[in-house]
Amino acid sequence: MDPLSRAHAEALDAADPLAAFRERFVIADERRIYLDGNSLGRLPVATRERLAALTEQWGAELVGGWHEWIDVPVRAGAAIAGVIGAREHEVLACDSVTVNLYKLAMAAHRGGALLTDRGNFPTDRYVLEGIAQERGAELRIFDGDIPWEGAGLLVLSHVDYRSGALLDLPAITSEARERGVPLIWDLSHSAGAVAIDLHDAGAELAVGCTYKYLNAGPGAPAFLYVAEHLHAQLRSPIWGWFGQSDQFAMERDYEPDPTVRRFLAGTPGILGMVAVEEGAVLTAKAGLPAIRAKSCAQTDLLIALADARLAPLGFTVASPRDAAARGSHVSLRHPEAWPITRALITLHDVIPDFRGPDSLRLGIAPLYTRYADVWDAADRLRGLVSRGEHHDFPAERDRIT
Amino acid sequence: MDPLSRAHAEALDAADPLAAFRERFVIADERRIYLDGNSLGRLPVATRERLAALTEQWGAELVGGWHEWIDVPVRAGAAIAGVIGAREHEVLACDSVTVNLYKLAMAAHRGGALLTDRGNFPTDRYVLEGIAQERGAELRIFDGDIPWEGAGLLVLSHVDYRSGALLDLPAITSEARERGVPLIWDLSHSAGAVAIDLHDAGAELAVGCTYKYLNAGPGAPAFLYVAEHLHAQLRSPIWGWFGQSDQFAMERDYEPDPTVRRFLAGTPGILGMVAVEEGAVLTAKAGLPAIRAKSCAQTDLLIALADARLAPLGFTVASPRDAAARGSHVSLRHPEAWPITRALITLHDVIPDFRGPDSLRLGIAPLYTRYADVWDAADRLRGLVSRGEHHDFPAERDRIT
């Protein structure tokens, strides 16, 4: 069978061990092909039920519900731990990626330059810029090789949010530990899509978001990971009552909790938090080995289709061609990427992400994306560009991309 | 009519202009008297509907929902502004009280001692302790009069979380401005229950929670207020992409948004945020003058009943007797406060809060609390203590109070 035929894609779906997981998500429109799970994942059916139940619990149990809710950041964290190869007591769900990165960076930085690469996600660069100003530290935004000399903290994204390039987490972690440079991994674009074993790699610090491949909803609480051997040493800069060792003994000075809870700050948002737990539990059920295998096969298929059918229309693949060096999204560059994005959404119900200046980002969430969806998306994209349909759309970009 | 009779309480309910607001809340159990709205307010019916609609919107619109969601922190902030006498563009809903206090305190402190009073809520003290350590600043926890000399920042709670004492916000604000000391008000125990006019008082900075009298749900996002004339001067210590001036121009250095949005950090949690908006809109609809008038009348009634019927059983009123100097809760001290709290909840379906070492805190949320509820609560409390029912309960306290 032609490996680039739709029939072949259908055959892959028929043999897919994860196929049944699609039914666990709300699919409001069967024609729509959603390739933006790397900005916001779909709604799990179980989460819809859990949110309704939580709302009822608030109404009925009122403040009594806190007997259960008090542990939700730790329980949701334990569920995430199973997805990123951490131990259960090393992960918390709380705050946003930005706030969590700030907490860990302030805790881990004890002098020296603050390093990150120019391609890192903006909020990660901004957080380091702010800390550099507060502490009068050097900020070093680098291109290419890591300039280790004089480094006091390194922050890296595991998967590049534009190209999809996947860094070698174990190797870089090893080098950082040999050099004694604290390293914080941002797992926002890999958690739930790429097999990660933080414990095995000896990684000490990480943050990540849950609204992408963990399907926890718009602006869902983020997570943070601190390896157990650092719990006693590191202190959050934000001293809050949820990080206090005996939270309800109100009369004492601050003394951080001995566990990872010391990185909690204020009262956690329970509505968002239960969605994090549901999303992480669902992901763990499917298992990262199966998710990663399907993700690689699907991004491979997309790249093969792009080479065969889209390259003649001016597209170039901007993501690594080796699946082992790639996360779960593929970026396609095209000089008219913006109007093509608008036409693809508006006329053909395929939802990618535009990333400036000239890329369509196609994110594949293997739990609910079929091989046939990948084939259809590439086919609709080819059709619209070959017919010039994007010429009817404005060339300038919108506020939200 | 005997002003301490149940018939009189019923008459007050019959004449209550806010009586109909009770129907706008989910009341799962009519016998239960909920006097813990100052820890977690009830679920508004509109919020239940809004949360279900938001969940469906996530499922159906997916990432497209962000066209609307991006402004929710500002819209919810504008709704809160109407409740605290701020202007619409001066308030944001975001993060937790702890994180917001940290952001404003780091922004406003430019040297000098960090001041707060010993009775302030623990998380407020902890935040200042942490900043004092980071910056090598003096931390001054005071009793009684404010020790202004050498002050670089003052943090005060508008209403004391234990006694219910209400500070004179306009007078203290005036003095702080005359002395040039930045002052942050924590409105957690007053927003939605006490009439506040930040603008009129010349207050410059405030934070507060929304899960108490604003009825926004467990761990709902908090708010922050920054007077407009400070927007250009103050910078959050946490530089994140939601505070960036042109958020989706990803390639630039950080440049804070010119508006209050500069105090946003990471991606805001939308699930919690819509509940904040609903709660604040509902409160604004009732209006703070009417809410405050009812709150004062109800706490007056409770104190009168305590004096007449509870004092002979060993209770003392630990809250100010002048309604003008009191928030919306009344603290009753009793040597056996803990077992009495347990008995009151377990045997009589009255929900107060225990605050160590020896207080029952009875919080009155006027939007859904009836005068008859106040009367019944005092009557059930009197009955149980006079019969000694609390002697069947353990004397030691639970983890969550």
Residue A169 in contact with residue A196, Cβ under 8 Å? Answer: yes
Which of the 8 DSSP states describes residue B397?
A: P
Q: Which backbone phi and psi does A53 adopt, to 5 degrees?
A: -65, -40
Q: CA A69 to CA B399: how far, in whole Å?
A: 13
Q: CA B94 to CA B91: how far, in whole Å?
A: 10
Q: CA B365 to CA A375: how far, in whole Å?
A: 57
Residue A177 located in a structural domain = yes
Q: CA A366 to CA A20: how far, in whole Å?
A: 11
pLDDT recorded at residue B261: 97
Distances from the Cα of B313 to the Cα of A277, B3, B131, B317, B347, angstroms: 47, 21, 45, 12, 18
Chain A residues near residue B60 by CB distance under 8 angstroms: 26, 28-29
Query: Does residue B104 sit in the same domain as residue B227?
Result: yes
Query: Does residue B236 sit in the same domain as residue B89?
Result: yes
Query: Long-range CB contacts (< 8 A, 24+ apart) of B19-25?
Result: B19/B370, B21/B282, B21/B286, B21/B367, B21/B368, B22/B367, B22/B368, B22/B370, B24/B282, B24/B367, B25/B215, B25/B367, B25/B368
Q: CA A45 to CA A24: how far, in whole Å?
A: 5
Quote the distance between the C-alpha of residue A393 and its chain's center: 30
Q: CA B29 to CA B47: how far, in whole Å?
A: 18
For B4, counting Cβ atoms within 10 Å of its Cβ (0-12 exposed, 13-18 middle, 19+ buried), the class is middle
Chain B residues near residue A240 by CB distance under 8 angstroms: 96, 98-99, 102, 123, 126-127
**CATH number, domain at B363?**
3.90.1150.10
The closest alpha carbon to A206, from A247, A176, A179, belongs to A176
**Is residue A400 scored above 60 in pLDDT?**
no
Name the domain boundary from B251, B286, B321.
Answer: B286
Strand partners, A203: none
Coil vs helix vs strand at B332:
strand
Residue B261 located in a structural domain = yes
Total structural domains in chain B? Answer: 2
pLDDT recorded at residue A201: 98
Query: Does residue A162 sit in the same domain as residue A206?
Result: yes
- Nearest Cα of chain A lies from the Cα of B60 at a distance, in angstroms, of 5
Q: CA A231 to CA A80: how far, in whole Å?
A: 18
Label the pairing between strands B113-117 and B151-157.
parallel
Q: Tell if the CB–CB gap between B269 and A219 is shorter than 8 Å.
A: yes
pLDDT recorded at residue A398: 58
**Is residue B167 scored above 50 in pLDDT?**
yes
Catalytic: which of B21, B25, B102, B121? B121
Residue A51 located in a structural domain = no
Query: Does residue A277 sit in the same domain as residue A130?
Result: yes
Chain mean pLDDT for chain A: 96
- Identify the band that residue B399 occupies on the pLDDT scale cut at 50, 70 and 90: low
Complex-level ipTM: 0.96
- Identify the band that residue B398 occupies on the pLDDT scale cut at 50, 70 and 90: low
Chain B residues near residue A218 by CB distance under 8 angstroms: 58, 65-66, 69, 267, 269-271
**CATH number, domain at A120?**
3.40.640.10
Query: Does residue B115 sit in the same domain as residue B180?
Result: yes
Residue B369, domain extent: 6-43+287-392
Give the CA dihedral A174, A178, A183, A186, nearest 10 degrees. Answer: -10
Residue A48 located in a structural domain = no
**Cis, bond preceding A357 (omega within 30 deg of 0):** yes
B212 is catalytic: yes
Q: Tell if the CB–CB gap between B55 and A48 is shorter than 8 Å.
A: yes
Query: Does residue B87 sit in the same domain as residue B158?
Result: yes
Residue-wise pLDDT for B185-227, tens only, equals 999 999 999 999 999 999 999 999 999 999 999 999 999 999 9
Q: Which residue from B minimizes the CA distance to A44?
A: B59
Query: Does residue B349 sit in the same domain as residue B238?
Result: no
Q: Tell if the CB–CB gap between A400 and B67 is shorter than 8 Å.
A: yes
Query: Does residue B172 sit in the same domain as residue B31?
Result: no
Residue A62 located in a structural domain = no
Query: Does residue B145 sit in the same domain as residue B161?
Result: yes
Q: Is A122 on the interface with B (CB under 8 A)?
A: yes
Residue B397 located in a structural domain = no
Query: Does residue B155 sit in the same domain as residue B174?
Result: yes
Q: Which of residues 50-109 of A touch B (CB under 8 A)?
A: 51-52, 55, 58-60, 62-67, 69-70, 95-99, 102, 106
Name B26's Cβ contacts closer than 8 Å, sequence gap at least 6: A59, A60, B42, B43, B44, B45, B48
Quote the distance between the C-alpha of residue B356 and its chain's center: 19
**Is residue A401 scored above 50 in pLDDT?**
no
Instruction: List helix spans (H) across B306-350.
Output: 337-348
Query: Does residue A116 sit in the same domain as residue A166?
Result: yes
Q: CA B374 to CA B350: how far, in whole Å?
A: 10
| pTM assigned to the model | 0.97
Q: Which two tokens stand for residue A146?
A: 């890591």
A126 is catalytic: no
Residue A400 located in a structural domain = no
Name the domain boundary from B227, B259, B286.
Answer: B286
Q: Is A255 on the interface with B (CB under 8 A)?
A: no
Q: CA A202 to CA A68: how far, in whole Å?
A: 33
Residue-wise pLDDT for A234-291, tens only, equals 999 999 999 999 887 777 789 999 999 999 999 999 999 999 999 999 999 999 999 9
Q: Tell if the CB–CB gap between A267 and B66 is shorter than 8 Å.
A: no
Strand partners, B326: B165
**Is residue B401 scored above 50 in pLDDT?**
no
Chain A residues near residue B51 by CB distance under 8 angstroms: 51, 55, 271
Chain B residues near residue A275 by CB distance under 8 angstroms: 271
Q: Which residue from B minimizes the CA distance to A274?
A: B271
Other Cβ atoms closer than 10 A to A149: 9
Q: Is A242 on the interface with B (CB under 8 A)?
A: yes
Catalytic: which of B361, B376, B382, B393? B361
Residue-wise pLDDT for B239-250, tens only, equals 999 999 988 776
Mean pLDDT of B117-132: 96
Query: Does residue A334 sit in the same domain as residue A216?
Result: no
Name the domain boundary from B258, B286, B314.
Answer: B286
Q: CA A277 to CA A186: how far, in whole Å?
A: 19
Residue-wise pLDDT for A322-366, tens only, equals 999 999 999 999 999 999 999 999 999 999 999 988 999 999 999
Q: Is A26 on the interface with B (CB under 8 A)?
A: yes
Residue B64 located in a structural domain = no
Mean pLDDT of B45-57: 98
The closest alpha carbon to A76, from B128, A68, A324, belongs to A68
Q: Which backbone phi and psi does B355 adopt, to 5 degrees?
A: -125, 120
The closest alpha carbon to A308, from A369, A376, A379, belongs to A379
Coil vs helix vs strand at B91:
strand
**3-state DSSP of chain A:** CCCCCHHHHHHHHHCCCCHHHHHHECCCCCCCEECECCCCCCCEHHHHHHHHHHHHHHHHHHHHHHHHHCCHHHHHHHHHHHHHCCCHHHEEEECCHHHHHHHHHHHHCCCCEEEEECCCCHHHHHHHHHHHHHHCCCEEEECCCCCCCCEEEEEEECECCCCCEECCHHHHHHHHHHHCCCEEEECCCCCCCCCCCHHHHCCCEEEECCCCCCCCCCCCCEEEEECHHHCCCCCCCCCCHHHECCCCCCCCCCCECCCHHHHCCCCCCHHHHHHHHHHHHHHHHHCHHHHHHHHHHHHHHHHHHHHHHHHHHCCEECCCCCHHHECCEEEEECCCHHHHHHHHHHHHCEECEEECCCEEEEECCCCCCCHHHHHHHHHHHHHHHHCCHHHHCCCCCCCCC
